[in-house]
């Protein structure tokens, strides 16, 4: 690797890492504000997620007598997996900051690793609600992952590579010609996966505290202090990474193709704008539909796999 490549990697890594870390609570705040407005409520302020994180990070966690080292270290492990995935996804530029270190399969694996960590932490706490929430989350993820892999496989087949930078560059080159039936079906499938992976309606209620309905929140009931802050921040960052992955794989328009300050700045603004649009879409869904029963999840998430498989079939049979 030449000196210029190293400098570019370092610059993109620092830019994307700082941007994603700072932007994650803001994106969560915009979703809550929009949902509150649609429900005729005032809602929290834009800075509320930052205040919550600062408050929790200033307190030591209170641990259950039944918990062990897994519950203590799993939150940091989860955050580390999500941060690593964030650096493997293109953001402001068509290339990922750590290009060549991992492809879309590695990103999917890191998401699964983070999910495994939080499920283990919930089980290790010894709480019945934590066990219930983790079992539901793992079941939902098992149903969503085929749709995620198949949707990404469709764009990988089109680009001829599993490298996310290559896929993003392929989309930029083809422009609106990329938006064929196969591509749109895969994008729709990925959209359903985002809903499931981030705990929004109709899969989960992100604001519930009812033991009969909670999934993600059930795994956080025994967390407190810095552990709670780490888990909440990792979840907020996961939404940003999924939104960036969706943009890079399906709608990469606006990302910089040359490593110059102007294109990178423009790509950063456009990328953040696309994330905000995705966040507003989630808020609109949360405010307009009801949570579905857990037994309806196979049908809903099976739709994602069906759409992605149909798109992949069109891509293979009708290139």
Per-residue pLDDT tens, the chain, 319 aa: give them.
555 678 878 888 999 999 999 999 999 999 999 999 998 888 888 999 999 999 999 998 887 777 788 888 999 999 999 999 999 999 999 999 998 898 999 999 999 999 999 999 888 887 777 778 888 888 899 999 999 999 999 999 999 999 999 999 999 998 888 889 999 999 999 999 999 999 888 888 777 665 556 777 778 878 889 999 999 999 999 999 999 999 999 999 999 988 888 899 999 999 999 999 999 999 999 888 888 888 889 999 999 999 999 999 999 887 6
Look up residue 216 and give its two tokens: 């993600």
SS3 256: strand
Q: Which residue has the tokens 């981030």?
A: 198
Burial of 219 (0-12, 13-18, 19+ CB in 10 A): buried
Domain span holding position 80? 3-317
- For 218, the token pair is 């059930």
DSSP state of 97: T
DSSP state of 92: S
Phi first, then psi: what are they for 156, rounded to 5°? Answer: -70, -40
| End-to-end CA gap in the chain | 35
Residue whose token pair is 């941007």: 19
Q: What whole-number distance in Å separates Cα of residue 117 and Cα of residue 111?
A: 10
DSSP letter, residue 202: T
Tokens for 278? 């995705």
Structural domain count of the chain = 1
pTM: 0.94
Taking the C-alpha atoms of residue 191 and residue 269, their distance in angstroms, rounded to an integer, is 22
């Amino acid at each position: 690797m030449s000196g210029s490549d190293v400098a570019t990697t370092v610059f993109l890594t620092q830019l994307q890492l700082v941007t994603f870390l700072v932007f994650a609570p803001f994106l969560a705040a915009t979703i809550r504000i929009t949902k509150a407005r649609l429900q005729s409520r005032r809602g929290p302020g834009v800075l509320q997620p930052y205040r919550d994180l600062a408050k929790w990070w200033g307190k030591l966690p209170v641990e259950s007598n039944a918990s062990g080292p897994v519950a203590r270290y799993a939150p940091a492990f989860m955050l580390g997996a999500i941060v690593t995935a964030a650096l493997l996804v293109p953001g402001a530029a068509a290339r990922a900051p750590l290009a060549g270190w991992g492809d879309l399969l590695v990103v999917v694996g890191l998401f699964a690793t983070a999910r495994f960590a939080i499920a283990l932490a919930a089980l290790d706490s010894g709480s019945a609600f934590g066990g219930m929430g983790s079992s539901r989350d793992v079941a939902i993820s098992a149903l969503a992952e085929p749709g995620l892999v198949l949707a990404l496989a469709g764009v990988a087949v089109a680009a001829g590579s599993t490298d996310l930078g290559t896929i993003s560059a392929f989309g930029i080159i083809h422009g609106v010609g990329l938006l064929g039936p196969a591509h749109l079906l895969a994008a729709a499938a990925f959209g359903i996966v985002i809903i499931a992976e981030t705990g929004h309606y109709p899969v989960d209620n992100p604001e519930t505290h009812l033991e009969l309905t909670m999934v993600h929140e059930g795994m956080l009931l025994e967390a407190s202090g810095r552990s709670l802050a780490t888990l909440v921040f990792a979840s907020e960052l996961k939404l940003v990474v999924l939104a960036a992955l969706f943009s890079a794989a399906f709608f990469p328009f606006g990302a910089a193709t040359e490593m110059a300050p102007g294109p990178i700045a423009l790509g950063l603004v456009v990328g953040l704008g696309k994330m905000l649009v995705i966040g507003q879409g989630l808020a609109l869904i949360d405010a307009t539909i009801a949570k579905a029963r857990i037994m309806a999840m196979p049908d809903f998430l099976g739709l994602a796999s069906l759409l992605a498989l149909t798109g992949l079939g069109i891509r293979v049979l009708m290139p």
